[in-house]
Amino acid sequence: MNPRTLSLAVTLLIAGCPPAPGPRTGIESTPRSEPGLQTAELRILDRHIGVEIARTDKQRRLGLMFRTSLAPDSGMLFIFEKEAFRYFWMKNTYIPLSIAYIGRNSVIIDILEMAPEDTTRYPSSGPAIYVLEMNAGWFQTRDIKPGDTVFGIPE
């Protein structure tokens, strides 16, 4: 095979290969996402969730911004130092999300639906120390409601 034909064959072979698998959580990221986020497995009722953890100010500010997809049963858990009334918005966030505000006792306070790139503030109705973002409708389709407990939140 001549070098030109070989080069074309290799190019076509590489183009047909599937992409490498993403992180264990199934969250696909762009170069803007921060690599090396801690991960954990949470449980609500009988549902297991793989999450990336946003613990620092920088990680929390970036959150799921600029992501293009979120695998089923995957999300992001935001951990704050103290309980407070919280609000989130969807600026530069392309995935429709459901958000659960969670108190210190690991009980869900609120669940809200958020639209992509919406700069409306989505507030908690009470003090929250944890916030869990999942694909839109995730909590509703699994019959998870305020008052349910989230297990496995890391210290």
The domains of the chain are located at 23-151
How much is the pTM? Answer: 0.78
From first to last of the 155 residues of the chain, give the pLDDT tens digit: 544 444 434 333 333 333 333 334 444 433 334 467 999 999 999 999 999 999 999 999 999 999 999 999 999 999 999 999 999 999 999 999 999 999 999 999 999 999 999 999 999 999 999 999 999 999 999 999 999 999 999 98
Topology annotation, domain 23-151? Jelly Rolls (2.60.120)
Alpha-carbon gap, residue 57 to 98, rounded angstroms = 21
Predicted local confidence at residue 118, as pLDDT? 96
Strand order across the 128-135 sheet: 108-114, 97-102, 128-135, 74-84, 47-54, 39-44, 150-151
Predicted local confidence at residue 100, as pLDDT? 98
Predicted local confidence at residue 36, as pLDDT? 76
Q: In the structure encoding, which two tokens stand for residue 10, read together? A: 């290799």
Predicted local confidence at residue 35, as pLDDT? 60
